[in-house]
């Protein structure tokens, strides 16, 4: 953007110095941790999973955008930058390249490295090379309508499991949750809005219901691994806001909408029970299909107003959905030509509690 002539907070020299500090700090921190912790990636491809370098780089770039344009021109620059950064983090986990803690650590490293880089740049340059002042002192109008756009990231606790037939149970240890939300307020208290969310979770596979019996007479199961499960939602409904003491807004909402469960597979590694003990890896034992469902959502939030057009929202949401998950089971594990049974449906209730934070652009 600066190359295109859009003026930013800092001059070229000041910005490049601050960014160089940020990149150096980020690179040293990420690589020193990667090659000292030696954490195995979820897909087993390498031992340098923690922290996520891609996520650290993405959040470093987003924070640079926030510092140069979001605080000086419009918070929409911050929203856009952090949206792209969080999508990068989400894709790294969705592709089974990183654990949730890897991307959270990477995001923190990217943000902190940039803050330290700009702190060092400010110490060196002081007032030199400042093109635009921060709008941090501009205050929100009293009695204004808190219409908003925001992007958030959170952690979802899933209460419920997916039962596959009588012998298989899939459960979630927790999920990454990202969201984009918008609302229009008719007055300071009542508005209407909508949100789009994406939830992805690794799946824990429990075959204890087999009570020691393999689904195959010829093979034993040596390992089971399930693809991450993803759910995309669109909901809409009323928003309510209550101005509290100082620069604080308390809020709640009631929404309903549509959710899309993305199909995922369960794979097994097999080994013959008798000599020559032949192994067969990554045998697709269960094929999960996509399905559409109805979802209901409510939640509470507290928004701290940083300046006229920027806020930080902390929120707790509750989701309820009745999933109707289609699947097929492999009938002849280990055989050359796999045969799957007819399509079945696993019907169950799912509850999600999500704790998260969002960067909010306010339009009064």
Q: Which residues contact 123 (CB under 8 A, 6 or more apart)?
A: none
Distance CA 337, CA 206 (A): 26
Residue 161: the pLDDT is 64
Burial 272-300 (b: 16+ CB within 10 A, else e): eeeeeeeebeebebbbbeebebebbbebe
In the predicted model, what is the mean pLDDT of residues 309-330? Answer: 86
The percentage of the chain sitting over the pLDDT mark of 90, rounded to a whole number, equals: 25
Number of domains in the chain: 2
Examine the pLDDT at 174 and tell me if it is beyond 70: yes
Please, are residues 252 and 240 in contact by the beta-carbon 8 Å criterion? yes
Distance of CA 358 to CAs 157, 303, 311, Å? 18, 9, 8
Confidence of residue 166 (pLDDT cuts 50, 70, 90): low
Average pLDDT over residues 125-141: 72
Same domain membership, residue 126 and residue 29: yes
Residues 241-275 have pLDDT tens digits of 999 877 899 999 999 999 988 877 888 788 888 88
Higher pLDDT, 332 or 58: 58
User: For position 342, what pLDDT does the model report?
Assistant: 86
pLDDT(136) > 70: no
pLDDT tens sequence across 259-317: 988 877 888 788 888 888 888 888 888 888 888 899 999 999 999 887 777 788 999 99
Q: Any idea what the CATH number is for the domain that residue 216 is in? A: 2.40.160.20
Task: Place 27 in a pLDDT band, splitting at 50, 70 and 90.
Answer: very high
pTM of the predicted protein model: 0.67
Query: Do residue 159 and residue 62 come from a single domain?
Result: no
Structural domain span for residue 260? 142-362
- 183 and 215 in a single domain? The answer is yes
* C-beta separation of 64 from 56 below 8 A: no
Domain boundary among 97, 112, 134: 134
Pair (161, 253) in one structural domain:
yes
Instruction: Inform me whether the pLDDT recorded for 210 exceeds 60.
Output: no
């Amino acid at each position: 953007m600066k190359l295109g002539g859009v003026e930013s907070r800092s001059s070229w020299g000041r910005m490049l110095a601050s960014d160089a500090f940020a990149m150096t700090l980020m690179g040293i921190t990420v690589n020193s941790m990667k090659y000292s912790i030696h954490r195995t990636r979820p897909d087993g491809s390498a031992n340098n999973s923690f922290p996520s370098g891609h996520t650290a780089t993405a959040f470093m770039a987003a924070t640079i955008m926030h510092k140069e344009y979001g605080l000086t021109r419009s918070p929409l620059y911050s929203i856009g930058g952090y949206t792209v950064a969080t999508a990068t983090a989400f894709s790294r986990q969705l592709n089974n390249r990183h654990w949730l803690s890897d991307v959270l650590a990477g995001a923190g490293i990217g943000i902190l490295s940039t803050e330290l880089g700009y702190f060092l740049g400010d110490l060196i340059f002081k007032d030199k090379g400042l093109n635009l002042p921060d709008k941090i002192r501009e205050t929100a109008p009293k009695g204004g309508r808190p219409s908003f756009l925001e992007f958030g990231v959170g952690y979802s606790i899933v209460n419920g499991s997916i039962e596959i037939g009588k012998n298989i149970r899939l459960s979630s240890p927790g999920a990454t949750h990202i969201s984009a939300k918008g609302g229009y307020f008719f007055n300071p208290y009542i508005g209407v809005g909508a949100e789009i969310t994406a939830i992805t979770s690794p799946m824990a596979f429990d075959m204890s219901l087999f009570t020691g019996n393999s689904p195959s007479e010829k093979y034993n199961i040596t390992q089971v691994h399930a693809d991450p499960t993803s759910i995309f939602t669109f909901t809409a409904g009323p928003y309510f806001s209550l101005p509290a003491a100082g620069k604080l807004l308390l809020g709640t909402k009631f929404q309903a909408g549509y959710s899309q469960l993305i199909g995922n597979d369960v794979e097994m590694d097999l080994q013959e029970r008798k000599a020559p003990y032949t192994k067969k890896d990554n045998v697709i034992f269960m094929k999960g299909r996509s399905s559409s469902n109805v979802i209901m959502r409510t939640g509470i939030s507290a928004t701290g107003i940083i300046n006229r057009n920027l806020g930080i929202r902390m929120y707790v949401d509750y989701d309820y959905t009745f999933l109707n998950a289609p699947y097929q089971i492999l009938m002849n594990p280990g055989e050359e030509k796999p045969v799957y049974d007819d399509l079945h449906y696993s019907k169950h209730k799912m509850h999600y509690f999500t704790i998260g934070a969002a960067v909010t652009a306010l339009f009064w």
